[in-house]
Structure 1
Amino acid sequence: MILTKVGDHRAFSHLYDRYAIRLKAYFYRMLWSDSSLADDFVHDLFSKIIEKPELFQEDKKFQPWLFRIASNMCKNAYRKKSFEIEYLNQLEKQGIELPVIDDKLDNEILADEIYKALEKLDEDRRSLFLLRYQQDIPIKELALLFELPEGTVKTRLFHIKKNLIGITEKTKNMINYGND
């Protein structure tokens, strides 16, 4: 660890090789037998070591210091899990159903993605879309406003919607994948 503190990457690699498997086993046992969570915690722990090697005191032994950090990370995970459970219990007591909350969050994520996509459009197309679907202005009036044939307005709106549908489908798939 002393060599790691002075920037020796080989020394860090040696520490990783020596302790990563043992730490994963420790995290796996401590964190609900979740293998991917254990991997994440190993990664986070070694990231902390790389980011702040100066926290290691040279008069201390490395292994106890390392496992003390791991233990503290587990304690923080327990506190977080305990808080989440308490929060969910409070919601249940208030009669709030989780699917409603999940749906609301999902809709907020979708709306955010749509607004991001709209921001990427040029000003005329963004304005055309918002005037049609937010302000309910008829296509005939939009054609007059933009000095375009009605067919062109319809075509542009079609392509904008097609693009947005693709974005929302990708987002829905990510949301559904995250909920599994």
Structure 2
Amino acid sequence: MRKIEDYILIRKIKSGDTEAWEKLVNKYYNQIFTFCVRRCWGDQILAADLTQDIFLKVIENIEKYKFSGKFFNYLFTITVNVCNNYYNKKKFTQSELDEKVLNLGSESLITNLMMQESANQIQVALNTLPDIQREALILKYYYDLKVKDIAKITGTSVSTSQSRINQGLKKLSKLLDREGFMNE
């Protein structure tokens, strides 16, 4: 059903229908923004900027879009690429990375008032994973995507995507089982 709705919206957008563009953005904005927040260590301002860049890329290239596969996969492919390009340009130093994780820890005290503590612990642990593993886990468990769709989105093989998910889960499990982590 989603595929047909997207097809109709994109056809309308290609014919100049601005309301259809607005509907498409509204349909996917929260999912893209949420992915970017998770991918950017909780930095909502950066996530909003990246989300805007993603939708600009989509509208700039909508005429080239071919109706093969799910639009959602196409959109997430752009999302992953925009995030990766940002971080490839911005090479974080270890001290910047440590500072981000520490800042996230202080933000999680406020967040704990609104959300379950375990969800925050998972997010903090997730933020410590390598980008490729974090990305695969976010797509798998927060967006409930199949491994073959994750492979398409990230431009890897199914076995590589599955490996990234498995390795990420093992690392998360170790982090969450550490006594010191759970008590912080």
TM-score after normalising by structure 1: 0.44
Structure with higher RCO (Cα < 8 A, 6+ apart):
2
